[in-house]
Amino acid sequence: MPFFTDQNPEVAQGASWPQWVEEARLNDSLAAQAYEGTPPQWRAAIKTGLALAHMHFGSDPGQLRDMRSDGHLGFWRRSESHAAPWAIIAFTPAYAAAARLAAACIPAILAGVPLIGAVCVGGQPHRAAMVSLELSGIEDVFVLNAPGLHKLLEESRPGPGRLVLLHAGELAPTVELAQSMGLPCWQEYRPPKLGLVEADNSDDGKSLADDGSRIDLEALYFAQAEALGMATSITAQMPSGGPRGTDMPFARDAQLPDALYLASGDQEQADLLHGKAFSASAPGLTLTPGCEGFWLHPGLTPDFFRVRCLTFGMLP
């Protein structure tokens, strides 16, 4: 059953999918079978990730208006902000990263977008994708070919909405279409590079696993799919005396991961590893055990799904 129900039940006036797309709606029984066939601890990992995203981003701010004037300079400014009328998250049948799909949906929900649809382009969604969408509370899930997706984008009203693409190059023509339409589009075009960090205490030979919980690799695979298979294993030598003398585990010319997963440990150990061992040029995201189902797409926040209007003028 859905973990999130923050989608506005009152769809913005005039915002609706074209009638023809109903024939492409995913059969609810398929999603139910996928959900029931997924281990509860994997589903719980995604639920935890959604709750963490809610904490990170906050709730829907609704429609915002702000009026400012400066009598000294002689100008006034009015700003308005509201959710985009609709959003489509499109992905391919091979897309199996449950956490990353949820991370593409939840910013739209938290932005207050009233009409959110997910489109699997070219075939039936992976079971992990169906579970992720179910937990995220996305009810409008369609299966279309690429021309069908393009037709849906062109006919969805009012516009412009927002488009998110999760692919490995297959949806490049859709990116071009969005550009020609002036449709704001965000895309993940490759799996993220992950680093799985095991920290060792060089003084006493103990691993941090001796002192804290370990990451659930099965849940992490459900969350990240093929990205975990390509993850880099890292051993960080940590002196017992604290951060002094901590060695950088990466060569200075090495390509850094997009995110780090601390295989074991707690907040203090994560702070030590991230703040000292990895330096200011390190990945911006470090996740500890318990956060397997959480993800942040760089630049994909609720702000992407909001429309802003500015008006300027001169004071009399």
Place of tokens 């951060």: 243
Query: For 196-207, what is the mean pLDDT?
Result: 62
pLDDT of residue 279: 54
Mean pLDDT score, 43-66: 90
Q: CA 43, CA 292: separation in Å to the nearest integer? A: 11
pLDDT band at 166 (very low <50, low <70, confident <90, very high): very high
More confident residue, 25 or 58: 25
Q: Compute the mean pLDDT over every residue in the chain, rounded to the nearest whole number.
A: 85
**Where is average pLDDT lowest: 20-24, 211-215, 264-268?**
264-268
The Cα 6–Cα 20 span in angstroms is 27
**Positive or negative CA dihedral for 10, 15, 19, 23?**
negative
Q: Over 90: is that where the pLDDT of 233 sits?
A: no
Residue 11 has φ and ψ, to the nearest 5°, of -65, 140
Structural domains in the chain plus CATH codes:
19-191+299-314 (3.40.50.1980), 194-287 (no CATH)
What would the mean pLDDT of 159-175 be, rounded to a whole number?
96
Compute the average pLDDT of residues 46-59: 95
User: Residue 212: is its pLDDT beyond 60?
Assistant: no
**H helix runs in the chain, sequence order:** 28-36, 40-57, 98-111, 127-136, 146-155, 172-181, 217-224, 226-229, 267-272
**pLDDT (0 to 100) of residue 252:** 53
Task: Please report the pLDDT score of residue 244 as a whole number.
Answer: 46
**Band of pLDDT at residue 80, cut at 50, 70 and 90:** confident
At residue 238, what are phi and psi to the nearest 5 degrees? Answer: -120, 115
Percentage with pLDDT > 70 across the chain: 79
DSSP, res 86: -
Strand partners, 16: 157
- Which pLDDT score, from 0 to 100, does residue 18 have? 96
* The pLDDT value given to residue 208: 45
Q: Are strands 306-314 and 75-83 parallel, antiparallel or unpaired?
A: antiparallel
Quick one: what percent of the chain has pLDDT higher than 90?
Answer: 60
List pLDDT tens digits, range 278-287.
555 566 898 9
Confidence of residue 70 (pLDDT cuts 50, 70, 90): confident
Query: What confidence tens digit (pLDDT) does each residue in 119-162 have?
Result: 999 999 999 999 999 999 999 999 999 999 999 999 998 879 99
Cβ within 8 Å of residue 21, ≥6 positions away? 142, 144, 148, 152
Mean pLDDT within 8-36: 84
Average pLDDT over residues 265-292: 69
